[in-house]
Structure formats: C-alpha cells, structure tokens
Amino acid sequence: MLEKLGEAIRKATDKIANALFLDKDVVDSIVRDLQRALIEADVNVSLVKELSDKIKKSAMDERIKGVEKKEHLVKILHDELLRLLGEHKQLKLLEKQNRIMLVGLYASGKTTTIAKLGNWFAKRGKRVALIGLDVHRPAAKEQLMQLGKKNGLNVFTNIEEKDALKIWKEFEPKLKDYDLILVDTAGRHSLDKELVEELKELNKKIKPTETILVIGADIGQAARTQANEFKKATDISGVIITRMDSTAKGGGALTACAETKAPVYFIGTGEKVNDIEEFNPNSFLSRLLGMGDLQTLIEKVKSVTEEKSQKKIQKKLEEGKLTLEDVVEQVRSMNSMGGFDKIKSMIPGLSNINAKIPEGALENQEAKLARWEHIIKSMTQEEKENPELLEKQTSRMARIAKGSGVATSDVRSLLKQYKLLNEVIKSGGAGMDMSEGMSQKQMMKFAKKFGKKMRF
C-alpha cells in the first residue's frame, strides 16, 4: 500500500539525516524526490507545491542551525504530510440504533465494505443486520446474501422486489432489535439525477445516523470531485476508501478527501472480509515512514547526524587534510550562512577585520562553486588526492581547465581555497563542528588569520 511513496519519504528523511550540510542543493534534491513520489501517488500538484514551498522555506530559516535544523526540517516534513492526510475521525456507534447507509458509484466497493463493516462491529459485540437495497444490479442482492451467510451476518432483502423503499418498509419492523443496520444501496456510472433522487428518498425514510461515501482508491485525486458532488446531493458524514492495496493512486484519493473535509473512517486493503482498517492519519503516516512516531524519527536524524559528523571530523583530523570536495562543501556552507560579512557580524570583535569583499561577488558564489565542482570532476584520482601536482605541472592545470570549460584562474582559485582551509585545519582543527561548517571559534581563527586574503 503506497510502498513507493513510503520509500520516497524514508529516503528523504535519510537524506536529511545523512547530509553533512543542509544546503540549498541538498534541500532541492530532497524536495524533488518527494514531489516526484507524491505526484506519482496522484496527489494534487498544487498541494505538492505548497508542501515543497514550506519545506524549502523552513530549510532556509537561518535562525535554526546544525542538528536542530535537521530536526526542524523532519518535523515540518512530517507535519505537512500529516496535514495532507486530513483530520482523524473515528466512526463511533451511538447508544441508540445505528443506521449506516453506504453510497457510491458502481463497483466502488459498497457491498464488499458492508460485509467488512458488519464483521468488524459483530466482532465488537454489536448485533448487526445487513439490508440489501441495490435494486439495479441483478446480482447485487445475491452477492450480499452470500457474503452474509459466509460471515454469519443476518441479511434482509427481497430478490424479486424492484423498489428499494418497499424492501425497506417490508423489513423495518424486523430490524428494531439490532444495534447496527448496514444499508447497501445501488450505484450508477455517475451521480445522475436519478441516483440523487433515490438517495434523497432513502434518506427521508431510513433516517441514517451516518451516510458513508465509498470510493475506490484507483480513482486517485478524482475523489475530490466525487466527494464534493455527493456532499452536495446528500449528507455525507464520512468516506471509506477501498482498494488501497491495489493501486499507487491511494495518496491522491486520501488527500483529495482531506481537501473536501470529508473524514476517511476506514480504508479497504483487500478483497477478504478482514481486509479493512480504521484510518488514523498519524499511524498511517508512521507506517509509511516505516517507524514509530515523530519523536523516533527525530531521534534517528540526531543520532545519524552525530555519528556521521563525528566520524568525518575524526577522519579529517587524523589525516589533517580536507579534500577538494570538502573545500567546496565548506565554502558552500559558509555561503549559505550568509557569506563572510554575515559571519563577521555574528562574531563579536570580528567586525573590525578588514576583509574586502568585492561587490556582487556573493551572487556569483554559486556559479563559482559550480565551476569548482566541474573542475574536480575533470581531475584524475591521483590529482584529487594530491592537488599540489597541478601547481607542479601547469600542463595539468591547462588540461583540467579545458576539460571542465573554465579558465585556469578558476582552477587556481580552487587550489588557493584548498590550501587556505587546510592551513586552518593544521593550525588546530579540534573543536571543529562539521555539521554546520566551522565553529565560531574556528571561524574567528580563520577570519583573523586569513581575513585579508579572503575572496568570496
């Protein structure tokens, strides 16, 4: 059931947990994956866009940093998905007699669901009766009788009678001892005038305590129109979505119902009588995510992040060396913090350091980082491990510049940044917090030492 969507959401949370820096690229790629999966599950595009925008906005919230930022992002992701799934409403039986009428189009799963609900409440000690009022499909009443027999449920219907109201009147006196009467009605290909009239008539006579719309999950987000139309025609108190097991579009059906504010009471998850579950958005989402609740999720993000960044710092410090890729990452993370000017203003005593930043340079930063990445891709493994080789042999530099379509000055600037950052590491990398670029202490050291040379 929605396996692909679940997998995509789990991947997204893993990406958040594993990212060394939650920069724009990481967030964009997470959002892209999610969008693809949600749209594949037939969730409405504008809902998907809304969710994406919220996630992006929250990821760029500069007030939150480090692991907390990751927790925050996972929480937003969780809450937004939960919001998409709508409110939780349980189908509760009343003390007096309950009359639940199931309505819906042809083959939406009404009759099957009647048997499932009958069985569900009978197991919970209720005296249940099923009444077959589908006078349109010749085999409909037999189907209900068979299902009743198979599951030990009492069924009332009249095979010969073509008038649904007459069947109701015939059996009404016999129904008074039951706690729950489940009414099976006829469907149509679409909600036409005839069906509306029939539902209104039945409504008047039966006075259902609940009228439940049955929708097949395979119609996906078209459930929105269907739910709205039925709501207009009659008093719908809730929805049951069937065939959640056999389509990838269930996400669309669920979110569309949430949009129309029609609470989903149950979902059908198979053809057998026990294949029915109460729908609880919270536990449904937990299952999609493949873990307990939000707290478990946050704990996971925390521990993965801590473990990962610790391991990485450890390794870096032992080697006393950052790779070229690390350099790009570092500069990108400083950039996402707002560049050197911003960093300066955040650290007391640093604002008087005279690091000249050429005007407009920050806007070019992303383009420059992208060029750096191209450069790294054009390098051989040997060169990546020993960038010093490039300075020794300028032919290498020329080859790389040509191969990556950049100027040799770009290659030089990457090398310069590389040396600069490695000097910082050597001058005492301890206490460096890789999960958010550098620590303040580190940054201060860095700025003091290299402030004048900094060129962003």
Binding residues for Mg ion (CB under 5 A): 110-111, 140
What residue number has its CB nearest to ligand GDP?
A: 268
Contact 279, 267 (CB under 8 A): yes
Nearer to ligand GDP, 62 or 142 (CB): 142
Q: Which does 269 bind (CB under 5 to 8 A by kind): Mg ion, ligand GDP, none?
A: ligand GDP
Closest contact distance (angstroms) between CB of 9 and ligand GDP is 23
Closest contact distance (angstroms) between CB of 106 and ligand GDP is 5
Annotate 99-145 with three-state secondary structure: EEEEECCCCCCHHHHHHHHHHHHHHCCCCEEEEECCCCCCCHHHHHH
Q: Which does 131 bind (CB under 5 to 8 A by kind): Mg ion, ligand GDP, none?
A: none
Q: Which does 106 bind (CB under 5 to 8 A by kind): ligand GDP, Mg ion, none?
A: ligand GDP
The site for ligand GDP (CB under 6 A) is made up of 104, 106-112, 187, 214, 242-243, 245-246, 268-271, 275
- Determine the Cα–Cα distance for residues 335 and 419; give it in Å rounded to an integer: 18
Nearer to ligand GDP, 214 or 414 (CB): 214
Give me 284's structure tokens: 């449904």
Q: What is the crossing angle of helices 324-336 and 365-377, to 10°? A: 170
Closest contact distance (angstroms) between CB of 195 and ligand GDP is 12
The three-class DSSP label of residue 272 is coil
- CA 451 from chain centre, in angstroms, equals 43
Closest contact distance (angstroms) between CB of 368 and ligand GDP is 55
Closest contact distance (angstroms) between CB of 301 and ligand GDP is 34
Q: Which amino acid is at 290?
A: G
Q: Which does 108 bind (CB under 5 to 8 A by kind): Mg ion, ligand GDP, none?
A: ligand GDP
Contact 25, 19 (CB under 8 A): no
Q: Which does 242 bind (CB under 5 to 8 A by kind): ligand GDP, Mg ion, none?
A: ligand GDP
Q: Which does 268 bind (CB under 5 to 8 A by kind): ligand GDP, Mg ion, none?
A: ligand GDP
Q: Which amino acid is at 446?
A: F
Closest contact distance (angstroms) between CB of 137 and ligand GDP is 7
Closest contact distance (angstroms) between CB of 183 and Mg ion is 11
Q: Which does 271 bind (CB under 5 to 8 A by kind): Mg ion, ligand GDP, none?
A: ligand GDP
169 Ramachandran zone, left/alpha/beta (phi>0; psi -120 to 50)? alpha
Nearer to ligand GDP, 108 or 333 (CB): 108
Closest contact distance (angstroms) between CB of 204 and ligand GDP is 22
The pairing of strands 154-156 and 128-132 is parallel
Q: Give, for 39, the enclosing helix (H) or strand (E).
A: helix 24-40
Q: Which does 107 bind (CB under 5 to 8 A by kind): ligand GDP, Mg ion, none?
A: ligand GDP
Nearer to Mg ion, 187 or 251 (CB): 187
Nearer to ligand GDP, 156 or 446 (CB): 156
Closest contact distance (angstroms) between CB of 224 and ligand GDP is 19
Q: Give, for 276, the enclosing helix (H) or strand (E).
A: strand 276-278
The three-class DSSP label of residue 158 is coil
Nearer to ligand GDP, 201 or 245 (CB): 245
Give residues with Cβ within 8 angstroms of 116, minimum separation 6. 266, 268, 273, 274, 275, 276
Identify the DSSP state of 375.
H
Residue 240: strand pairing partners: 214, 266
The pairing of strands 276-278 and 264-268 is antiparallel
Nearer to Mg ion, 41 or 186 (CB): 186
Give how far Cα 295 sits from Cα of 22, 291, 302, Å: 20, 10, 10
Nearer to ligand GDP, 267 or 298 (CB): 267
Nearer to ligand GDP, 100 or 214 (CB): 214
